[in-house]
Amino acid sequence: MNFVWFIGLFCYPIFVQKDFCSNNVFICGFCIPKPIVLRKELNTTHNVHEHINPVAQKNQDAFCTALFQLLLKKPLEKISVTELCHMADLDRTTFYRSFESKDDVLDYYLDRQMTLLAGQLPAYSTLEKNLTALFRWTYAERKNLCILMDCHLTSFFSDALSEKIILVLISNIEFGDARQFVPWPVSLPGENRYFRNSFIGAYMGFFNSWRYGNFAERPEDLAKCMASFYLH
């Protein structure tokens, strides 16, 4: 057995273990058979909007676009379903066919984006390459992500990343790279929580600095920089 410890920027220790006999990955106490399994699970679970017809998906996308347009003008709690329908040029019946609340619209948008992002993460690759995919996606979605942050809705975004992307990203890393993770000698209860929080905290810190620098740096350069914090 080879034990590797992963330290986040906020000093939350994470445990990553490789079982070289069975080719399983143990991340924070969870056994992950292969990275591709997690990728499939992401694309087939936790997505209540799968298997919808094209018209329904078009309407849902229209509500997403309308919501972000309204968020430029007012906070989420002050946006009514009526306003949302008017902006999307659709009626309330159409809205309630797909969503129960405005929060569901954000969840739908983030579900779609997390599935897209998961498909862009290279399997069995390096941490730097996986982070490059993450930052490229971030740049492509920077406008909407900035709106979420300005409207104090960052938790929607960070929760989606934590629940649906982070373990996929780390499980994709080839183990030559994984063995370079900074070692940490002590196991803590709730390691999975610390792991996700540390990685999300680091990523959000990079995103904020990148944003306030007008996204001047290349995604590849940010990925290299962030990876250097975690590897020897």
> What pLDDT score does 206 carry?
96
Task: Output phi, psi for 179, to 5 deg.
Answer: -70, -10
Global pTM?
0.73
| pLDDT for the residue numbered 19 | 33
The predicted model gives 127-148 an average pLDDT of: 94
- How many structural domains does the chain have? 1
Mean pLDDT of 44-58: 64
Helix ranges restricted to H, 32-78: 35-44, 54-71
DSSP bridge pairs for 213: none
9 pLDDT above the threshold of 50: no
Which residues touch 188 (CB under 8 Å, ≥6 apart)?
Answer: 13, 194
Could you tell me if 7 and 182 are in contact, meaning their C-beta atoms sit under 8 angstroms apart?
Answer: yes
Q: Which domain holds residue 115?
A: 2-230
User: What whole-number distance in Å separates Cα of residue 143 and Cα of residue 162?
Assistant: 21
Rounded Cα–Cα distance for residues 46 and 203 (Å): 23
- CB under 8 Å to 141, separation ≥6 — which residues? 113
| 3-class secondary structure, 231 | strand
Identify which has the larger pLDDT, 48 or 19. Answer: 48
Tell me the pLDDT of the chain averaged across its residues. Answer: 76
Rounded-to-integer distance, Cα 51 and Cα 47, Å? 10
**Which CATH number do you get for residue 138?**
1.10.357.10
